[in-house]
Structure 1
């Protein structure tokens, strides 16, 4: 037994070193975000587009490419809105059809073929109310006070991670909320013109929320997120992934980035090959990040999606 003690001490030393170094790594990563020389473009009054490519493994010991669109709560030129497809379309296509200034892919949906990102859990229940036959969203979606789709549940009738929160738009104000786990139809009673279920919720009132311990959350993937700052500013965020130029992030890493960007509330949207950011009048059909479905670090890998979150001109009435 005595021969094993050095090995135990060795493991204890390595673990202790990890605990001591973790805060240092976190500080280095937060400084990388705050000190980045973001490229900034004004899109409208109160709306700006920021992007930065973290190279030399300077963020979470990896290369990362982040894109952020910010809209001030008091913007007089723009407003937030949800949009959707009658089937599946590229984020850029949906945004152009609505006349959007900018936009990101929305929440989760059924693909027309095998989904390389998400494996089904159980068999979907048949009691889902089909409000809009063509749309393939598997989450609650309400647009302009009209219910487009209801949540789709497995036979165990348990909310999954992508149904654990919502983005709600009421009188032009966006809020991020955690759902009532025991009420499968909680979204129906929320007073808001637009609602999109998604998740997991990462931050509420600056408090980190529990993150599911599974491969989807723990592994690095392209990510899309929405955050809200204390002054009401809304952030639409994409993180590219699955390439040497940008590794992608775990949900915990994404949560940290949203906090370092100044968000009090933050929620995860659909990611993986769906992650796309659109900015009007930009090259490559307005795609300004690097969607990953073509496995290349370019703008040509868009995946068709079912719904989007957009910034529209103030006088635009979709």
Structure 2
């Protein structure tokens, strides 16, 4: 009897001490499948999921980082930052007191050839409005919008309206494409390249931009109101990257969020976690064309949890 009690106590102690590694109980509820995943609990309301698999039939040779933030815990908030002059994600992080984790956000606002496809509203001020006509090759790039309150605790992702002035939210960030809308995997068909020759298409054509594999950054909102920040590595044999279709299937399979939207990816894809090596960059940015943690791109918009 004494030996049984000792073993039980030891098991409880081990469980308590290992809560920040492996699959925690709170993560089990959110993560639909555990194979291929490890987790770190950065704070009670912030979980860092890491996926890597060489053998998964659907997602082999992929490397994905996901941050889950639960605003309902009342411990922190989301912070959105915009800087016209651009900075790397790790530099942004150093300017945000209490930052725990973050990603690059959406497509560039200050881009001469394509700035007018974006809508960005912060604290009630429209910093950038959509001006391109529907005939523009860039029109699709504001298909979805992420709205959030000034407190950084309530979020929504939905299709963009024809007229953004009709949206009451004080904060709007557009992106594209929509991946999941009210649990419907709309991203599965957005850029279906089946039977199509896309080699001669303009790089910004939606089929070429979203129909092939690249590093990807995305955001998602769960039924419970949690915010997911997603960074998919790519452009390397160790991490092939995903198309919009594949990213949609990945999120639906492992997290089943209520809504999700792709944002700026490719060389812009970056994720930062406090206290980690390489200035906190935990994914493999590709601007230096190497599979390491040093290829950060200078970006204008970022999303952090603090």
- Given that residues 166 and 196 in structure 1 are in contact (C-alpha distance below 8 angstroms), is that contact kept between their aligned partners in structure 2? yes
* 1:266-296 CA distance string (max 9 Å, x none): 1001100000011122211111111111122
The 8 Å contact of residues 88 and 296 in structure 2, kept in 1 or not, is answered as: yes
- 2:105 equivalent to 1:106: yes
2:191 is aligned to 212
Change (3 A) 1:295 1:158: closer
RMSD: 2.5
- Write the mapping of 1:36-115 to structure 2, written as runs, cut at 5 A: 36-56=35-55, 58=56, 60=58, 62-99=60-97, 100-109=99-108
User: How many angstroms apart in 2 are the aligned matches of 1:258 and 1:251?
Assistant: 11
- Stretches (4+) displaced over 3 A: 59-62, 110-113, 154-159
Q: Which has the higher strand share?
A: 1
Deviations 1:162-219 (A, max 9, x none): 2011110025201001012xx2xx2233222321110111111111225134111110
Is this contact kept in 2: 1:164–1:178, CA < 8 A? yes
Q: How does 1:1-318 map to 2 (within 5 A)?
A: 34-56=33-55, 58=56, 60=58, 62-99=60-97, 100-109=99-108, 139-153=118-132, 156=135, 160-170=139-149, 172-180=153-161, 183=162, 186-209=163-186, 210-213=189-192, 214-260=207-253, 261-312=255-306
8 A contact 2:36–2:52 mirrored in 1: no
CA shift at 1:255, angstroms? Answer: 0.4
Mind listing any 5+ residue stretches in structure 2 that lack a counterpart? 1-30, 193-206
| Structure 1 Cα separation of the partners of residues 125 and 164 of structure 2 | 13
Separation in 2, partners of 1:106, 1:61:
24
Give the whole-Å Cα distance in 1 for the aligned partners of 2:111 and 2:139: 21
Deviations 1:12-57 (Å, cap 9, x if unpaired)? Answer: xxxxxxxxxxxxxxxxxxxx9813242222222311111122224x
Give the 3-state SS of the residue equivalent to 1:104 in structure 2: strand
Find the aligned partners of 1:295 and 1:158 in 2 and give their Cα distance. 27
Distance 1:193 1:311, change over 3 A: farther
Q: Is the contact between residue 49 and residue 65 of structure 2 (CA under 8 Å) also seen in structure 1? A: yes
SS in 1 for 2:245: helix
Q: 1 CA distance for matches of 2:67 and 2:132?
A: 32
Question: Cα offset for 1:86?
Answer: 2.6
CA distance in 1: counterparts of 2:159 and 2:280, whole angstroms: 32
Matches of 2:82 and 2:63, distance apart in 1: 26
SS class of match (1:34): coil
Residues 44, 245 of structure 1: CA spacing in aligned structure 2 closer, same or farther, 3 A cutoff? same
Cα distance in 2 between the residues matched to 1:61 and 1:207? 21
How many residues align structurally? Answer: 256
TM-score w.r.t. the length of structure 2 is: 0.76
Counterpart CA distance in 2 for 1:143 and 1:296 is 35
Once the two structures are TM-superposed, the CA of residue 257 in structure 1 deviates from its matched residue by: 1.0
Give structure 1 stretches of 5+ with no counterpart: 1-31, 114-119, 129-137, 313-318
1:80 is displaced (CA, Å) by 1.4
Seen in structure 2, the aligned counterparts of structure 1 residues 143 and 62 have a Cα distance that, compared at 3 Å, is same
